[in-house]
Chains A and B, each alone.
Chain A
């Protein structure tokens, strides 16, 4: 009985960011006498979890490709050439075989993990654990990796202050969520792991942090703060449809300026007509007309946890237009790279407010093509290492909250002083 379910929506991303927020295991002194010492088991378990994460990512990709192939097949005109049909068939068969392989690998991995006690906390009862606990995968997919204090003490000291502060915060949050019985906290709310429940605002914690906003509150506040930006919400499938319709619209020879407006109205009326119920929202589209289109995906649907972000030109359209897709244009490619790092930062430092921080940070890109670099005071600059002419694509994400949009700085890739 596997607890780790390899569906596209399941544990995948919970594994990755938790693993990145947690400091990687240092080389623990291995007991040469028994090849089975707890540190080695822990290391093995972490490695297997990593592999599982990668397999799940492969499965997601495969599912996306299958969907694409199905769309292509579904939208192909009746007079398609036999080669075209054959090609689509081949793609579908190939993907199916690949997916099957991935699932088999994942099952085998899951069995290994189960045996080693990762998925069911069996090791907590074991006596000879050296104070190290096996990584525990909780029902909703998040990974709780280590006995915190022992591991932290063993870390290399170099960037100690920042790293330990971040790690401590991550650990305390997870501890509070998954092991409330370990502490005598006032909070007795146990996480029940169902996607539907995460849309409710969480109770305020005992250290007096702000209440989380719900998704609709976040979006409404954003609309009033950034009037230039248009915000649309979609379910996964609705977004795929819209992305494809954008492609056919932009392909027209007769570019009609009123078309852009029509499309926006259409999108808006569709999303309000369907009344995408707020707990099914999986994709948020942020459109600043004529500047950019940003896509943020939420996981699980209806929650306030962003899991990917991507930038595109407003004229781009097609099935590659999604939160994990990459734009054809170099400038947006580099903005997305920077955005990925910003997203990871927001998730690890302020997981409760990650979405609103991310959306506001995205809004600061309205000035992408007009704001000069804060360091060299120029707009366009040739980046030597990339051999590309780019405007300032970096916007710092370290100073969060309450930076007015005019003061937000911008940097070229080469002028950016952050190493991230």
Chain B
């Protein structure tokens, strides 16, 4: 769930601290740090001039996302948003990409923050910063409910949790609010049984939302 700042307000780390305080007020127990990274890949054309739109390259997707999740350091997920593809691969995959020189990683974004255990729920609240600078690009959080694996069956519980969370955060009167962005899993060919591919897709959607929020 990305944080949507109110128009005109600036994003600052105070909001992050307040959000963490909310998690603790609900009884959350701080469980450590987490970090998930997203890499943006751009296609390399044969003569090395990146971004040239020759006829032969018109059908190449302009963008490839690579996602390294906190939970599964041994895996690497690749998402082609335009073609609605998600691939789960070994963590050595980026090296393959390097060697192939077909797509190069341009920008890397890190989502990092603290993890809280709230009974059967796990909350990850974090900030979004680019790899090479400290500029805060956005704030987001991830909620996981351990007992259930089916997306359909857990919908009611997650919605209820989101309502409770909104109530708690609203009490702090912060400039902005969290929004819940639904990812369209069926477009990516994913089933109802939740998996890490689903998480990767959710991060991609969340990122998109963050970008539009910051720009707009």
Contacts and interface: CB of A to CB of B under 8 A. Distances in A.
Given A329-B120, A329-B146, A389-B120, A382 B154 contact: no
B17 interface: no
Given A331-B120, A379-B157, A388 B193 contact: no
A415 to B, nearest CB: 15
A332 B164 contact: no
Contacts of B147: 313, 329, 331-332
Interface centre among A254, A387, A388, A389 (most CB of B within 10 A): A389
A380 B160 contact: yes
B150 interface: yes
Contact of B120 (A254, A290, A379, A388): A388
B119 A389 contact: yes
Contact of A253 (B27, B72, B118): B72
B165 to A, nearest CB: 10
A375 to B, nearest CB: 16
Interface in A378-396: 378-380, 382, 386-391
A331 B161 CA distance: 14
A391 B161 CA distance: 10
B208 interface: no
Nearest to B191: A257
Nearest to A312: B147
B88 A254 contact: yes
Contact of B149 (A254, A314, A382, A391): A314
A131 B75 CA distance: 76
A315 interface: yes
Given A253-B72, A389-B26, A313 B148 contact: yes
B157 A369 contact: yes
B2 to A, nearest CB: 22
A189 interface: no
Nearest to B163: A380
Interface in B135-154: 146-150, 152-154
A369 B153 contact: yes
A34 B154 CA distance: 67
Nearest to B152: A290
B195 A255 contact: yes
Which secondary structure dominates where chain A touches chain B? loop
B119 A260 contact: no
A180 to B, nearest CB: 49
Contact of B119 (A257, A314, A390): A390
B121 interface: yes
Given A330-B120, A389-B120, A389-B121, A380 B149 contact: no
A370 interface: yes
Interface centre among B74, B120, B154, B157 (most CB of A within 10 A): B120
Could you say which interface size class chain B belongs to? 20 to 34
Contacts of A254: 88
B75 A369 contact: no
Interface in A382-416: 382, 386-391
B146 A313 contact: yes
A257 B192 contact: yes
Contact of B153 (A260, A329, A370): A370
Nearest to B88: A254
B49 interface: no
A218 interface: no
A19 interface: no
B127 to A, nearest CB: 25
B160 A378 contact: yes
B58 interface: no
B193 A389 contact: no
Contacts of A388: 27, 118-120
Contacts of B164: 380, 382, 389
B170 to A, nearest CB: 16
Interface centre among B88, B147, B154, B195 (most CB of A within 10 A): B147
B92 interface: no
B150 A290 contact: yes
A291 interface: yes
Given A382-B164, A389-B119, A290 B148 contact: yes
A260 B26 contact: no
Contacts of A255: 149, 193, 195
A380 B150 contact: no
A290 B26 contact: no
B156 interface: yes
A388 B26 CA distance: 8
Contacts of A378: 160
Interface in B68-112: 72, 74-75, 88
A311 to B, nearest CB: 10
A379 B160 CA distance: 7
Given A315-B149, A329-B147, A391 B157 contact: yes
Contact of B161 (A314, A328, A380, A387): A380
Interface pairs A-B: 5 shortest CB-CB: A290-B150, A388-B119, A380-B160, A387-B27, A257-B193
11 contacts: A290-B152, A290-B192, A315-B149, A331-B147, A380-B161, A380-B164, A382-B27, A387-B27, A389-B121, A389-B161, A389-B164
Given A291-B153, A382-B164, 18 more contacts: A253-B72, A255-B149, A255-B193, A257-B193, A313-B148, A329-B146, A329-B147, A330-B119, A331-B147, A332-B147, A369-B154, A370-B153, A379-B157, A380-B164, A382-B27, A386-B119, A388-B119, A389-B164
